[in-house]
Amino acid sequence: MKRKSPQGIKEESMSILVVGSVAFDSVETPFGKVDEVLGGSATYFSSSASFFSDVNLVAVVGEDFPDAHLDFLRSRNVDLAGLQRAPGETFRWRGRYGYDLNEAQTLDTRLNVFQDFRPDLPENYRDADFVFLANIDPELQLEVLRQVRKPRLVACDTMNFWISGKRAALLETLKHVDILVINEAEARQLAEEANLSRAARRILDLGPETVVIKRGEYGVIMFNAHSIFAAPAYPLEEVFDPTGAGDTFAGGFMGYLAANRNLAEQSLRRAIVFGSVMASFTVEDFSLNRLRELDYAAIEDRYHRVRLLTEFDGPA
């Protein structure tokens, strides 16, 4: 896919297939309140990844989903051929955060059209090289993998609900996954192990070659068989709304990898930092507001700031 590169997208970058949710979020934080704004894992992921790579989106929305949101995604070069429109209402989530912004309290979840969602990949999506299975039913994640021919890299997310409720299907999915991107508490729950390093080892035994553990304001830690990489979160004086931070992280991470087609350790590390940088922008405003006005220069600038934040030299 060739085109000019307004946001740093490399001409030879590979496109990413993402399956997940497109939703309306209603969120309350100590700093404000929004109703039925654009949200959903696939939305955050694809908007973030779009700064680095092309994205093919597989999801479902209802009849109530406004064209303006579709236009936004298209403006970010997100391909919507895989976005189904089904009779009924779009998926809705309502949540609240306290001053400790690390964890959302879910007030209401309405699956609506997502209830009967069956992913059906357009023919030209089936040759995807980079696949991200956002946090959905692991049986649907498997269904997507069955439709993809020979992906070069499969990453996935999951949550406590599936870890406890659909463990067998999740373990089956993990056998086909290269990189698991997961929260700290979920990593401990999945591995049934309180020590995070040991939990990571156990997860690597389940299939993934790499596990990327998201720790909120403490950053990200990545484990594989040979190394560990820890990156801090960019320290912000204003964290407005953490919703979507994890999916935005995954979007930047996968976007960078797809853009550079390099899965070596140093590339994975840079991808982690780009993912963290993207997440740090998302939390500065509600919904995708901050990503809407972002440009690639600001992303690179913050990447450099994270380098300054972490560098130290050898013992004197």
Q: Which residues bind a second copy (CB under 8 A)?
A: 99-100, 194-198, 201, 215, 217-219, 221, 227-232, 235-239, 260, 262, 266-267, 269-270, 272-274, 300, 303-304, 307-316
Residue type, 74: R
Distance CA 11, CA 3 (A): 6
Query: How far is CA 292 from each of CA 234, 277, 282, rounded to the nearest angstrom?
Result: 20, 15, 10
State the minimum distance, in angstroms, from the CB of residue 209 to a second copy.
18
Give the nearest distance from C-beta 26 to a second copy in angstroms. Answer: 23
The residue assigned the tokens 């023919």 is 123
Q: Which residue lies nearer to a second copy by CB, 136 or 211?
A: 211
The 10 Å Cβ neighbour count of residue 187 is: 24
In the complex, the smallest distance separating the C-beta of residue 303 from a second copy, rounded to whole angstroms, is 5
Q: List the alpha helices (DSSP H) in the chain.
A: 41-49, 67-75, 138-147, 160-165, 167-174, 184-191, 196-205, 245-260, 265-282, 289-292, 296-310
Smallest gap from Cβ 258 to a second copy, in A, equals 13
- Shortest CB 215 distance to a second copy, Å: 7
Our CB check for a second copy shows the closer of 167 and 198 to be 198
Residue whose CB is less far from a second copy, 133 or 179: 179
> Which tokens is 65 given?
């989903």
| 31-61 burial: b if 16+ Cβ within 10 Å, else e | eeebeebbbbbbbbbbbbbbbbbbbbbbbbb
